[in-house]
Amino acid sequence: MTTFVLVHGAWHGPWAWDLVVPLLHAAGARTLTPDLSAVGDHGLHDDARIVIDVLDSVAPDDDVVLVGHSYAGLVVREAADARPGSVGHIVLVDGWAGADGASLVSLAPESFVTAVRAAAKTAGDGWRIPAPPPLAFGIRDTDTATWLAARTLPQPLRTFTEPTVLTGAVDRIPGTALYCEPLTYPFNRFGADVGYRTRALSGPHDLMLTDPETIARILLESSLTNESTKTDR
């Protein structure tokens, strides 16, 4: 059985995948949606540990596709690096990614880093970043924006500043980097730089909310690629 481990991005929760999950289930797949929106100060390594624990819970004969949206691109790569034998394919959805030692603040433009640090200092007790408005995620539809604004949560600053710790094991796992156009940040380059096949999609950063059918279809395609790779081996 194919198991998709769907990891949400910053300011979001497992609910980010609510429209995608039923489509994957309808195709016969299993899904797991770890929650990184823990209460209190925590960092990227804590989030990676949550995903590692989820990977450890999957049956050894399951084909695992590990999916990270946005910030979670860094998280899933660190988790996969720790459990390379448990992951058959990595998919980034507009995901941040880099080599060992990369962090979101090291990859992001200076204007973004300055803005989140200032927001944490002035409105987040120095350690948490208030959620930006839905428009920051490309959501313009009024109903979807209202739904999203009611659910987003502050994001601990440390999740953006902690550097990833990678041994290189993750680089042996095939990956696909989906990037949404028009680009908000160079997600196409992030994916290419870590050796992933890149694929452009038309839509906003939170494409799983506006076009879950496309996301589900491409994820299912990645699981077939994973099966083909296993057969070749």
Q: What is the pLDDT of residues 74-83, one digit of tens each?
A: 999 999 999 9
Domain residue spans in the chain? Answer: 2-105+158-232
- Six token digits for residue 170: 């993750």
Question: What is the chain's length?
Answer: 233
Q: Give this prediction's pTM.
A: 0.95
- The two three-digit tokens of residue 10, written as one number: 């910053």
Q: Which amino acid is at 78?
A: E
Indicate whether 229 pLDDT > 50.
no
Task: State how beta strands 128-129 and 155-156 pair.
Answer: antiparallel
User: 148-197, pLDDT tens digit by residue?
Assistant: 999 999 999 999 999 999 999 999 999 999 999 999 999 999 999 999 99
* Chain segment 34-75, per-residue pLDDT in tens: 999 987 899 999 999 999 999 999 999 999 999 999 999 999
CATH code of 2-105+158-232, in short, is: 3.40.50.1820
Q: Are 95 and 191 in contact (CB under 8 A)?
A: yes
